[in-house]
Amino acid sequence: MPDSALELANVVKTYGEGSVSIPVLKEISATVATGERIALLGKSGSGKSTLLNLLGGLDRTTSGSISVFGSRLDEFTSRQMAQYRLETVGIIFQGYNLLSMKTARENVELPLIFGGFSARDRRAAAVKALDAVGLCDRLDHKPTELSGGEQQRVAIARALVNQPKLLLADEPTGNLDSSTADEVIEVLSAYVSEHATTVVLVTHDDDLAERFSDRILRIQDGQFQDNLSVAASTEADNGEVAP
Ligand SMILES: Nc1ncnc2c1ncn2[C@@H]1O[C@H](COP(=O)(O)OP(=O)(O)OP(=O)(O)O)[C@@H](O)[C@H]1O
Ligand SMILES: [Mg+2]
């Protein structure tokens, strides 16, 4: 297995065309090691979800290359991309994105439906994932019958049900109070530590970024502002002179 989980080289993402084109990512490059936990910080509209969509195989770069575990995502056919989404990556979306008419277990089974698993295997995998996030007693609850933190944990279980090597989490605690957010992060941390999952976590929360990640990447004006380790960025923050 290659050493690096992610290699981004001169990644450009521009939405629209001509006079209405919006350049969001402007030649960004980065390398992420296997098992590394990255926190992605940046102002609203800076391109965090855009980058996650590219890494998750939900959208394609305008130019530049993205390698994930040694495979060039930008060269995948749509069929290979679908396979990649099914086997390699798990995504916790901004907002929960749960289907309201389905139970917790059915929501968690969804990513497996296209994978040719039997109903019995899907069910077993969903129960295992819900158990991992502490919800084995809420299998048949629908989203409206669950608290915000519980819904978020269902969304986490859905992202983990295929045991992804790469987990992409877009503001997984954005809608939660701080103690519920702490619980959710604990559940997530326990899982990724146990499985040595590579993680890119988007957050607005500097504190969470420092607690959870090995390294912080900040997007500003379409580029990574710096590439600091958590320790170095803490030092830099402490050394900052108040204006
Ligand atoms: N499909 C799209 N078409 C056109 N513009 C888009 C599209 N998706 C996003 N954008 C624009 O790209 C920019 C980056 O959006 P993105 O969703 O990546 O921001 P973000 O950093 O995730 O913000 P937030 O913190 O608010 O979630 C925004 O200006 C947005 O309006
Ligand atoms: Mg976003």
Any idea what the CATH number is for the domain that residue 147 is in? 3.40.50.300
- Burial class (CB within 10 angstroms; exposed 0-12, middle 13-18, buried 19+) of 186: exposed
What kind and span of H or E run contains 203?
none
In a domain, 10, yes or no: no
The answer to whether the CB of 22 is under 6 A from ligand 1 is yes
In a domain, 72, yes or no: no
What's CA 83's distance to the chain center, in Å?
18
Q: Angle, to 10 degrees, between the axis of helix 119-132 and the axis of helix 148-160?
A: 130
Q: Are 192 and 38 in contact (CB under 8 A)?
A: no
> What 3-state class would DSSP assign to 153?
helix
pLDDT of the chain along its 243 residues, tens only? Answer: 557 999 999 999 999 888 889 999 999 999 999 999 999 999 999 999 999 999 999 999 999 999 999 999 999 999 999 999 999 999 998 887 899 999 999 999 998 988 888 999 999 999 999 998 899 999 999 999 999 889 999 999 999 999 999 999 999 988 888 888 888 899 899 999 999 999 999 998 899 999 999 999 999 999 999 654 454 445 545 545 444
> What 3-state class would DSSP assign to 172?
coil
The reported pLDDT for the residue numbered 181 is: 87
Segments forming the whole domain that contains residue 232: 34-60+77-238
Q: Are 25 and 12 in contact (CB under 8 A)?
A: yes
204 Cα: distance to centroid of ligand 2 (angstroms): 10
The reported pLDDT for the residue numbered 115 is: 81
Residue from 43, 50, 221 to probe ligand 1 pocket by mutation (most atoms less than 8 Å from CB): 50
Sheet holding 4-15, edge to edge: 22-33, 4-15, 63-68, 71-72
In a domain, 210, yes or no: yes
State the total domains in the chain: 1
The reported pLDDT for the residue numbered 239 is: 47
Q: Which atom of ligand 1 is nearest to the CA of 52?
A: 18
The reported pLDDT for the residue numbered 230 is: 52
In a domain, 87, yes or no: yes
Q: Are 169 and 134 in contact (CB under 8 A)?
A: no
In a domain, 196, yes or no: yes
